[in-house]
């Protein structure tokens, strides 16, 4: 039977392999598992990357380069046209974008891009803006405010990391 000969009736569902039904079936006695050994016993599983003692592929290949995956900052993207759903004169921040379903949660970093048109005056607060997005928000009479982290707070924790000091004691020393 060839691939193009398979119809909706014949060959669509392959019958399961019935083992242990006598030697005449071809899958009797040891049921295709062979004699003895761990793989003949129940509950035996093999490591999927095991190559029979040969040096595995992931150990043969050299480890080179650097992955930025852990350190990269990812931004949720919101276009200016999506901001049209908010009322005229509204304050649009991360919480409002999250509650309206434009971003998954309040912990996300947000970048506003300039795709589309904006006709409403909005006070938009986000982590980043593209130049065109900022221009379009400003041209409607709105404001584009950037959320910034306080780098001084972040450095205070790391500066006294090795000493057993509370944050309050660390601030007093500064």
> Going residue by residue through the chain (174 aa), what tens digit of pLDDT does each one get?
677 776 777 767 788 899 999 999 999 999 999 999 888 999 988 888 889 899 999 999 998 999 898 888 899 999 999 999 999 999 999 999 999 999 999 888 999 999 999 999 999 999 999 999 999 999 999 999 999 876 555 555 555 555 555 556 656 666
Distances (CA, A) of 10 to 4, 17, 25, 47: 11, 18, 22, 36
The full set of domains in the chain, from first to last, is 75-146 (3.100.10.10)
**How many residues are listed for the chain in this entry?**
174
Give the tokens for residue 59.
Answer: 């150990």
pTM: 0.54
CA-nearest of 141, 107, 101 to 124 is 141
160 secondary structure, DSSP code: T
Residue 75 bridge partners (DSSP)? 109
């Amino acid at each position: 039977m060839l691939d193009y000969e398979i119809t909706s009736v014949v060959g669509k569902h392959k019958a399961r392999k019935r083992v242990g039904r006598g030697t005449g079936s071809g899958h009797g006695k040891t049921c295709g598992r062979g004699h003895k050994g761990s793989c003949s016993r129940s509950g035996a599983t093999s490591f999927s990357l095991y190559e029979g003692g040969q040096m595995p592929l992931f150990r043969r290949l050299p480890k080179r380069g650097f992955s930025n995956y852990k350190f990269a900052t990812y931004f949720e993207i919101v276009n200016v046209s999506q901001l049209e759903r908010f009322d005229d004169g509204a304050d649009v921040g991360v919480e409002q974008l999250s509650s309206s379903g434009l971003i998954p949660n309040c912990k996300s970093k947000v970048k506003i891009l300039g795709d589309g048109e904006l006709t409403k005056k909005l006070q938009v607060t986000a982590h980043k803006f593209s130049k065109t997005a900022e221009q379009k928000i400003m041209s409607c009479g709105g404001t584009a405010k950037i959320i910034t982290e306080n780098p001084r707070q972040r450095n205070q924790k790391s500066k006294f990391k090795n000493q057993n000091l509370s944050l309050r004691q660390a601030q007093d020393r500064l």
